[in-house]
């Protein structure tokens, strides 16, 4: 598997899965652009990436804003001297019964989780075409993009949407040699799950930690997923070894049996 020397843009790279992806790709020899809204955390991740002896750069952008995503792609090409892969990883979750969902909730979650992926696909593909070379687009879906999760209904809808966008984009860009795939993690022990568990506790009265434990107990491999587990799949999708794979939404969930 080789990503050595490739220039890769990762969104949502300040923490969690995005940070895990950035570090894994750096370990494998890729140069990495770290994009996030959390400016304060980016410098620390950049230093960790550079410790692998590769180039790193940071860029503050809100993926829900089209112009900011295009600017992040431009910055990546200039700073890293190329542009080969975009990982549209940034996303947010919200725990709420469907009965309580507001127009503002829908607006906020869809703008980041869906628009953010549309802009990443669009800006990434435009740059690959301008450079005249093949490229890879990799999007974050979820097991919640395969089954609607109770209390995470709107979030699940956005992750189903990411699968649809991945399939459509794969067909639209295949003739340009651009591949488009999605990774679908299970239960990953990041800040996102800390917040999900806390919200479940507030809404249902379940003790803190119980919801997370319930989901982890349903994983056949018997443990929660780590960002590194997810990054292993993304490293494959970013490498030349995945050249014949496109339009796929690949589950990496430890054989989850409880949803």
The answer to whether residue 231 forms part of the interface with ligand BUO (CB under 6 A) is: no
> Residues binding ligand BUO: what is the number (CB under 6 A)?
7
Distances (CA, A) of 80 to 32, 43, 173, 257: 8, 16, 24, 42
Three-state secondary structure call for residue 112:
helix
Q: Which two tokens stand for residue 194?
A: 């800390």
The answer to whether residue 124 forms part of the interface with ligand NAI (CB under 6 A) is: no
For β-strands 85-88 and 136-140, DSSP reports them as parallel
Residue list 62-91, contact with ligand NAI (CB under 6 A):
62-64, 89-91
Q: Which two tokens stand for residue 104?
A: 């503002």
Residue list 182-201, contact with ligand NAI (CB under 6 A):
185, 187-188, 190-193
Q: Residue ranges of the alpha helices (H) in 174-257?
A: 191-204, 210-217, 227-238
Is 258 a residue of the active site? Answer: no
Identify which of residues 137 and 224 has a Cβ nearer to ligand BUO in the complex: 224
In which residue are the tokens 């410098």 written?
Answer: 43
The answer to whether residue 158 forms part of the interface with ligand BUO (CB under 6 A) is: no
Q: Estimate to the nearest angstrom the gap between the alpha carbon of 255 and the chain centroid.
A: 20
Identify which of residues 82 and 218 has a Cβ nearer to ligand BUO in the complex: 218
Q: Is 189 annotated as a binding residue?
A: yes
Which residue minimizes CB distance to ligand BUO? Answer: 142
The answer to whether residue 48 forms part of the interface with ligand NAI (CB under 6 A) is: no
Identify which of residues 140 and 237 has a Cβ nearer to ligand NAI in the complex: 140
Considering the candidates 155, 173, 183, 215, report the single residue annotated as catalytic.
Answer: 155
The answer to whether residue 40 forms part of the interface with ligand NAI (CB under 6 A) is: no
Distances (CA, A) of 112 to 79, 95, 123, 134, 250: 25, 16, 15, 26, 21
The answer to whether residue 118 forms part of the interface with ligand NAI (CB under 6 A) is: no
Distances (CA, A) of 217 to 196, 211, 254: 16, 10, 11
Separation between Cα atoms, residue 92 and residue 110, nearest integer Å? 9
The answer to whether residue 38 forms part of the interface with ligand NAI (CB under 6 A) is: yes
Q: Is 95 annotated as a binding residue?
A: no
Q: Is 16 annotated as a binding residue?
A: yes
Closest CA to 64 of 22, 23, 35: 35
Identify which of residues 63 and 170 has a Cβ nearer to ligand NAI in the complex: 63
Footprint on this chain of ligand NAI (rule: CB under 6 A): 11-12, 14-18, 36-38, 62-64, 89-93, 112, 140, 142, 185, 187-188, 190-193
Footprint on this chain of ligand BUO (rule: CB under 6 A): 93, 142-144, 149, 187, 192
Residues identified as active-site:
155
């Amino acid at each position: 598997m080789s990503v050595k020397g490739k220039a890769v843009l990762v969104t949502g790279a300040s923490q969690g899965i995005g940070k895990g992806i950035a570090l894994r790709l750096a370990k494998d020899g890729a140069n990495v652009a770290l994009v996030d809204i959390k400016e304060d955390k980016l410098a620390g991740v950049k230093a960790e990436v550079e410790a692998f002896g590769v180039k790193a750069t940071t860029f503050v952008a809100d993926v829900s804003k089209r112009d900011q995503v295009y600017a992040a792609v431009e910055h990546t090409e200039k700073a890293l001297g190329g542009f080969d892969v975009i990982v549209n990883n940034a996303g947010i979750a919200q725990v709420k019964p469907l009965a309580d969902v507001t127009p503002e909730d829908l607006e906020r979650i869809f703008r980041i989780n869906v628009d953010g992926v549309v802009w990443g696909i669009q800006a990434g593909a435009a740059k690959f075409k301008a450079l005249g070379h093949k490229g890879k687009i990799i999007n974050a879906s979820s097991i919640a993009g395969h089954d609607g999760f109770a209390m995470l209904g709107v979030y699940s809808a956005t992750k189903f949407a990411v699968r649809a966008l991945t399939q459509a984009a794969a067909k639209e860009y295949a003739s340009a040699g651009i591949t488009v795939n999605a990774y679908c993690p299970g239960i990953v022990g990041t800040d996102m799950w800390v917040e999900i568990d806390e919200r479940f506790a507030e809404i249902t009265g379940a003790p803190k930690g119980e919801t997370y434990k319930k989901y982890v107990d349903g994983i056949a491999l018997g443990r929660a997923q780590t960002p590194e587990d997810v990054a292993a799949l993304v490293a494959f999708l970013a490498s030349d070894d995945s050249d014949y794979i496109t339009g796929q939404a690949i589950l990496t969930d430890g054989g989850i049996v409880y949803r």
